[in-house]
Amino acid sequence: MACSSLSSVFRQTQRILWRRCAEYGSSGSWTSVEGRPTTRCLCTSRKYIKPLFSSLLCRSPASFSSQTSTYSTGADPPESANLTAPAPMEYITLPGLSDEEQQRFRVLQFEFEVLKQSGNQVPSKLTEHEWRRVLTHNSRSARIKFYRFLFKNEMAEENEKKRKAAASAIREIKHQQLRREVAEDPDAIRYGLNLNSIFPYIRDTTMLMSQNVKLAQARMFGQPLVFDLDYDDWMSIREQTNTAMQIRDAHAYNKDARDPFWFQICNARMRGMTMEALKRGIPNLGEPSCLIEVSEKSYLDLFPKERLVYLSYNAEDTLLKFNPEDIYIIGGLVDKTNPKPLSMAKCKKQGLRRAKLPLDVYVRWAMGGKNLTINQVAALLIDVKEHGDWERALIKHIPKRKLVQPEDLQSSPGVQPYHKQEQYRAPYAERYGGGRRRKEQQQFRSVLESLLSQ
């Protein structure tokens, strides 16, 4: 096709996009600037229209007639031109949105279609929950980042499906080879899965039944472990999702424990983002098959106040000995963007006992902060409840990059990374990070006073 034909087809594609943009009302009305229709839409520049034009041209090259090159530059094509407009978009609606929000939602759907046709990293389709997440992003760059995140997840799922398909094909080839060997020599003894073996095959359903039996016993006679979800107002959407995923991982670790806790989720907002993400992570949450107690009430209304112990990194007392009679509370807070001592202020206001994990007593930190995730704290308590060894549990669950390894202390043979003797614990904690700790406590004290005054 000649250059004049390409430029003319590009103008026709641009007019189609302008008309489509006018259909869903992203602009007020048609205007004319130097004899060319214009409108304020999401893609009026050649930067976004050229890739879309190339995609349309590659998809249906026969939809544009060869007579297009005979049209003049400024005139519109005659009605008899063999120009096929693309099919109109099918817009979806979300329940519970106002008219203004529905109008914005149509604009975002058109933006998503333009990004997809332009070759950007966007998923093939979006669910209702993902569209609602898109509506919360006010800037275009934030939406593009979210689309890229969903695209990477979709590609990871497709790669996982391909990997499983390849593994299934390899297993099928092995089974065919085994069947041929059995047909050739049926009296031979063969060992392996589904063959002669002294080990029984334990299915996933059997494992799940065993885990549920332990969780049921913990619910009747075991020690509760409380998760406080009263921090949704202090977290972003991503932090609320991370909180839910960490509680899900803690539940998975608790099921495999020999002596599990009875998980209690208090101050839950059933329509909040954290609970919605938690229901996606644990689909049977709230059903009798899921032995997790979820309540909108506070832990003060469910348990005796004298048994409650709130775990907080900013606490002054250290939890040196695990007490099976106490009820420990873990704050459901991921504070990446708001590192304030919120849990400390809350338990001070409620008059609860508070304690921090013995991180400075048993291990020596090399880098990073001493804040642990929710699932790491829960796993620490589960292991300490089982065997009572804090050092063993801390070394197992704290990332190795944060700890000083024995090979890093070859230049100082007199200093050991871990101390088991009781007389060395207090001087060790004072010698490493004592001054910095006092400065942090002073800063936290000032912030606490301001929070309590509010």
Strand-pair category, 36-38 with 31-33 = antiparallel
Residue 399 or 169, more confident:
169
The whole-number pLDDT of residue 327 equals: 93
pLDDT band at 37 (very low <50, low <70, confident <90, very high): very low
Residues whose CB falls within 8 Å of the CB of residue 382, separated by 6 or more in sequence, listed in order? 253, 254, 257, 259, 260, 261
Which pLDDT tens digit goes with each residue over 325-342? 999 999 988 877 667 788
pLDDT higher than threshold 80 for residue 249: yes
Which pLDDT tens digit goes with each residue over 367-385? 666 778 999 999 999 999 9
Residue 28 or 342, more confident:
342
The whole-number pLDDT of residue 57 equals: 39
Phi first, then psi, for residue 83 (nearest 5°) are -115, 120
The whole-number pLDDT of residue 376 equals: 92
Which pLDDT tens digit goes with each residue over 62-100? 443 334 333 344 445 445 445 555 567 778 888 888 889
Per cent of the chain over pLDDT 70 is 68
Phi first, then psi, for residue 30 (nearest 5°) are -75, 140
The whole-number pLDDT of residue 82 equals: 54
The whole-number pLDDT of residue 40 equals: 37
pLDDT band at 362 (very low <50, low <70, confident <90, very high): confident
User: What mean pLDDT do residues 442-448 have?
Assistant: 65
pLDDT higher than threshold 70 for residue 187: yes
Q: Are 214 and 260 in contact (CB under 8 A)?
A: yes
Q: Are 137 and 108 in contact (CB under 8 A)?
A: no
The whole-number pLDDT of residue 359 equals: 84
pLDDT band at 264 (very low <50, low <70, confident <90, very high): very high
Mean pLDDT of the chain: 76
Which pLDDT tens digit goes with each residue over 210-224? 888 999 999 899 899
In whole angstroms, give the CA distance from residue 268 to residue 297: 8
The whole-number pLDDT of residue 41 equals: 40
Which pLDDT tens digit goes with each residue over 193-242? 667 777 777 888 888 888 889 999 998 998 999 999 988 888 888 889 99
User: What mean pLDDT do residues 425-452 have?
Assistant: 54
Which pLDDT tens digit goes with each residue over 270-324? 888 899 899 989 988 888 888 899 999 999 999 999 999 999 888 888 888 899 9
pLDDT higher than threshold 60 for residue 260: yes
The whole-number pLDDT of residue 309 equals: 93
pLDDT higher than threshold 50 for residue 164: yes
